[in-house]
Amino acid sequence: MSTRIPLPYSPKVLEIFRNPKNLGPMEDATVVESAGSPACGDMIKLYLKVGEGDVIEKATFESYGCAANIATASILTEMVKGKSMREAWQISWKQLSDELGGLPPIKYHCSILAVGALKRAIRAYYSARKEQPEWLPEALTHEERQVLEEEEMMERYYKALGRAGSALEAGGAGEKA
Amino acid sequence: MSVSAKLKELLREHGQPPREVYFDLENSGWVPPEVVEAMLPYFNSKGYGHPSITHKPGWEALEVLYEAKELVAGTLGTSGLEEITFTHSGTEANNLAILGYLLASRGRGGKVVVSAVEHLSVIFPAEFAEKLLGFKVLRVPVDSEGFVDPEVLKSYVDRETVLVSVQAVNHEIGTVQPLKELVDVVKAANPDAVFHTDAADAYGWVKLDVKKLGVDMLTLSGHKVHGPRGVGALYVREGVKLEPPLRGQLSAEKLWPGVENVPLIAGFKRAIELQFENLEYNVIYVKSLRDKLVNGILDRVPHVLVNGPLGERRAPNNANLSFLYVEGEALTVELSMRGIYVSSGSACSSRILEPSHVLLAIGRKHEEAHGSILFKFSRYHKPEDVEYALWELPEAVSRLRTISSWGSTGAFSS
- Condensed to tens digits (0 to 9), the pLDDT of residues A91-135 reads 999 999 999 999 988 888 899 999 999 999 999 999 999 999 999
B177 lies within 8 A of chain A by CB = no
Is residue A41 a contact partner of residue B367, using CB atoms and an 8 Å limit? yes
Question: Average pLDDT of each block of 10 consecutive residues along chain B (414 residues)?
Answer: 89 96 95 98 97 96 98 97 97 98 88 97 96 95 98 97 98 98 98 97 97 98 97 98 93 91 98 96 97 98 96 97 95 97 79 80 94 97 98 96 73 42
pTM: 0.92
CA distance B391 to B335: 11
Q: Which residue has the higher pLDDT, A138 or A105?
A: A138
Question: Which positions in chain B touch A159 (Cβ < 8 Å)?
Answer: none
- Condensed to tens digits (0 to 9), the pLDDT of residues A5-42 reads 667 889 999 999 999 999 999 999 999 999 998 888 89
A4 pLDDT exceeds 60?
Answer: no
CA distance B10 to B336: 12
Q: How far is B171 from chain A (nearest CA, A)?
A: 9
Q: Do A176 and B156 touch (CB under 8 A)?
A: yes
Q: How far is B109 from chain A (nearest CA, A)?
A: 17
- Compute the average pLDDT of residues A71-94: 96
Instruction: Give this complex's ipTM.
Output: 0.88
Q: Do A109 and B351 touch (CB under 8 A)?
A: yes
Neighbouring C-alpha atoms within 13 Å toward the C-beta of B277: 7
Distance from the Cα of residue A89 to its chain's centroid: 14
CA distance B336 to A80: 31
Query: pLDDT at position B352, please?
Result: 54
Neighbouring C-alpha atoms within 13 Å toward the C-beta of B144: 6
A137 pLDDT exceeds 70?
Answer: yes
By Cβ distance, the residue of B367, B372, B374 closest to A39 is B367
Question: Which positions in chain A touch B376 (Cβ < 8 Å)?
Answer: none
Active-site positions of B read 348
Query: pLDDT at position B1, please?
Result: 77
- How far lies A13's CA from each of A75, A114, B332, in Å? 9, 14, 14
Question: Which positions in chain A touch B404 (Cβ < 8 Å)?
Answer: 62-64
A129 lies within 8 A of chain B by CB = no
CA distance B344 to B371: 7
Query: pLDDT at position A163, please?
Result: 60
CA distance B309 to B291: 13
What's the DSSP call for residue B224? G
A176 pLDDT exceeds 90?
Answer: no
